[in-house]
Amino acid sequence: MEATTMEAQIIDGKKVAKEIKAELKEKVEALKEKGVTPGLAAVLVGENPASQTYVRSKAKACEKIGVYSEVIRKPADISQDELMSIVRNLNSRDDIDGILVQLPLPKHIDESAVTNLIDPKKDVDGFHPFNVGRMLLGYPTFLPCTPAGIVELMRRYKIDPSGKEVVVLGRSNIVGKPVAIMLMQKGEMANATVTICHSRTAHLADVLRRADILIVAIGQSEFVKGDMIKDRVVLIDVGMNRVPDDSTEKGYRLTGDADYEACRAKASYITPVPGGVGPMTIAMLLSNTIKSSENRVKKE
């Protein structure tokens, strides 16, 4: 899919996610023929609207491709012990292949203790230290969903990072660090020279302008301007920011971490917000769940 005009080609995450779900549906049907239905359990604590929307989207996506989905809703004042008990129970259930505890959790809960308790074989978010360690070493494992979605988008648009200068803006454990690790590995859709930038990076715009591929994940609306990128860069925008806007029915609009219109005029490829990286996160979560289910079949 070559870009043919000066205006960037849009990387359509919705379209790619739809293709992936169609492929996964076939895998689910093959598993069901063997008497196995993949199962995903989501634990939702509290009333965070973004978390509720996300978990609802996951359940809906599961239903569409035939994956069993279970949402366990608990109030924000749940005790650490009760939450740990829920995770232990899900670890022991044969009908559940994937467990995710929706973050963020209330402040009185120790997030790392909960994440570390999830059975690594069911850690379809790819957050358990066991799976993070395997990812770092380049071993097969569950990869975190958003970074895996970014790499899959690049694969399907034939954007090969090998030998390219990749700059990642953001150093979170969920996106920045893992996508940097994945792209610097030896292997297919990797072999890049990777720089991670963050709030303490000196001469930030100069570093960003070096990027052949720029991945932006800092959670600041339209932070990256057109004069901060070089011509023909591939720009992957992971941001999803709600900006107040009285002219819309909802009273807000969604923006990325890059100034879309200004950057689109210079980039060769760009992800829109919404409809770019976001749909891929759920597609890769489903992919990890089905992989876990396939692993279960191999062991039986």
**Residue positions annotated with a catalytic role:** 58, 102, 125
Torsion of CA 43, 45, 47, 49, to 10 degrees: -50
| Amino acid residing at 197 | C
Q: 136 and 271 in contact (C-beta within 8 Å)?
A: no
Here the tokens at position 112 are 């790392």
Q: How far apart are CA 273 and CA 239, in angstroms?
A: 8
Q: Residue 216: which of 275, 151, 271 has the closest Cα?
A: 271
What's the length of the chain? 300
Whose structure tokens read 């994945």?
182
Here the tokens at position 184 are 């610097």
* Pairing, β 241-244 against β 252-255: antiparallel
The half-sphere exposure of 259 on its side-chain side, counting CA atoms within 13 A, is 11
Torsion of CA 115, 174, 277, 91, to 10 degrees: -10
The half-sphere exposure of 299 on its side-chain side, counting CA atoms within 13 A, is 9
Q: In the beta sheet, which residues pair with residue 241? A: 255
30: left (phi over 0), alpha (psi -120 to 50) or beta: alpha
